[in-house]
Amino acid sequence: MAQAVLAVGTALVTASGCVWYVPALVDLRAGADRPDSRRLAAAACLTGWGTAGLVTVLLSVVGTWWPVAGTVAAGAVATAGLRVRALVRRRDERREVARQWAALSPDPPRHGRADDSARYVFAALLGSALAVAAVAAAVAVSPATGGIDWLVAAAPVAVAGLMLVLAATHARTTRRGPATGRTRHPG
């Protein structure tokens, strides 16, 4: 009975995964129109979802868990291997594009996202502010403090405000150009 319930659940999850494996199938069928890294990632996606479909069939047919566990393990290893190959190939493709742009001009165009460090710093400062605010609010309403003290309740708001100002300032200064103060355009 448990295997039948798992089979139905796995079948439903596999069917709903079409939002991932149908575009992956399109990428594979496109052939040389897509970069190698994208086709490898699509193969990894199809391998993973194909494994889920095979597990559904095995759960319905086989009475023991060993074939199911073996299939899951083999599918996970194959999917992870293909995904790692796709990531390595993507890194090589990016290096090649950077090398080609470097040969054309000293300043390659900045396509896509800008420097991601500003986003990470902003996220870290915002997360810190929220964590400090949550801890201070928990202390403010704890029974040990005898209720809400206005100073303890105002402290997290002040700290969170300071962190947000620091995050916004950092994000703004990283978007500026090197020495002119003008903002950089993406290309």
Q: 118-163, pLDDT tens digit by residue? A: 667 777 777 777 776 677 666 666 666 565 666 666 766 677 777 7
Helix/strand/coil (H, E, C) string of 68-97?
Answer: HHHHHHHHHHHHHHHHHHHHHHHHHHHHHH
Full pLDDT tens readout for the chain, 187 residues: 777 888 888 899 889 888 888 999 999 999 889 999 999 999 999 999 999 999 999 999 988 888 999 999 999 999 999 999 999 999 999 999 988 888 886 665 565 555 566 667 777 777 777 776 677 666 666 666 565 666 666 766 677 777 777 777 766 776 655 554 445 445 4
CB 164 within 8 A of CB 172: no
CB 118 within 8 A of CB 175: yes
Q: Is the pTM of this model over 0.85?
A: no
Instruction: Count Cα atoms within 13 angstroms, Cβ side, for 74.
Output: 10
